[in-house]
Amino acid sequence: MSGEARLVGLGMSTIDVLASTEALPRWEGCAPLDHLCLDGGGMAANTLAAFSKLGGRADFIGVYGNDALADLKVGLLAKAGVDTSEMVRLAEDEPAVTLVFVHSTSGERTFASTGRMRNRPLAVEALDREAIINADGLYLDGFHPQAAIAAAEWMREAGKPVFLDAGRPENGDDLGMRSLIPLSSILFGGAGFGAAYSGEKDLLDAGKFILSQGPAVYVETLGEKGSWTFSGESVFQNPAFAVRAVDTTGAGDVFHGAFLLAWMEGKSLQEAGRFASAAAAIKCTRRGAQAGCPTIEEVKAFLTER
């Protein structure tokens, strides 16, 4: 891959406090931690970090606070090679901090987040239209819905693709998400999203329904069960690679970033899915969503061995 594709992302970025433990704490007790660290997080931010670390050009648009945690969040994105010059600084402490409990044995995780992160919308007036449409593609995760809709409309008017992470099944009822889905070229959904959004219990029927709503491609990620991809030309499954998971935080975001980089640089949908599965598998063997993302050389070496 040449690494010439440029992706701009608009959405969520957080500071993740990762705590690895065998048991969650209880009010009347104490849970020992096996490991504790800080990392960058947030769906769109993780995807852009992955896209950049794998060799693409990435620009992120979002908000950050005016304290040390905010500076760390932006610094970690910049360390991953992401251009953060279009981020907007708030006159308050960092509003997006997430405590991530990671199960030490399985690598599964659960979250506790500050509620303020959804109440600090990015204004449409803060966006630079030219900076957005000059990219090769736009990635959204449903955060900052009004700004996201405006940016998506600009990209579609410019004849360029819009990529959307619809996330969890319950997001299908979100009005902002429902407005963005018809504007998307490639839609990603987590396990069960297709059924929840379409009302179809069968995944194949759900995929067909989603394609009828506007997206040219729908990809549903199913964790260790791999992913299914639907397009007007084909329907296929990409299996997941078996690894010993240490931390699954951000695996789906890394999958998205890797998939889009491969596809934007000319790979087929099936090749992009296999490349993305490898990148996500490697990430699961490491702690942190952004810190755990592999390089292009590591993904190529992983695939050579399979």
pLDDT in tens, 211-235: 999 999 999 999 999 999 999 999 9
Strands 63-64 and 88-89: parallel
The yes-or-no verdict on residue 117 having pLDDT over 80 is: no
pLDDT of residue 3: 55
184 vs 178: CA distance, rounded Å: 11
| 119, 192, 253, 285 from 171: Cα distances, Å | 17, 11, 16, 28
Helix (H, G, I), strand (E, B) or coil at 37: strand
Helix (H, G, I), strand (E, B) or coil at 142: coil
Average pLDDT, the chain: 95
Q: What is the mean pLDDT of residues 109-136?
A: 91
CATH number of 6-13+43-61+126-304: 3.40.1190.20
The yes-or-no verdict on residue 2 having pLDDT over 80 is: no
The yes-or-no verdict on residue 249 having pLDDT over 80 is: yes
Per-domain residue ranges for the chain? 6-13+43-61+126-304
Q: What is the mean pLDDT of residues 87-99?
A: 95
41 vs 11: CA distance, rounded Å: 11
Distance of CA 209 to the CA centre of its chain: 23
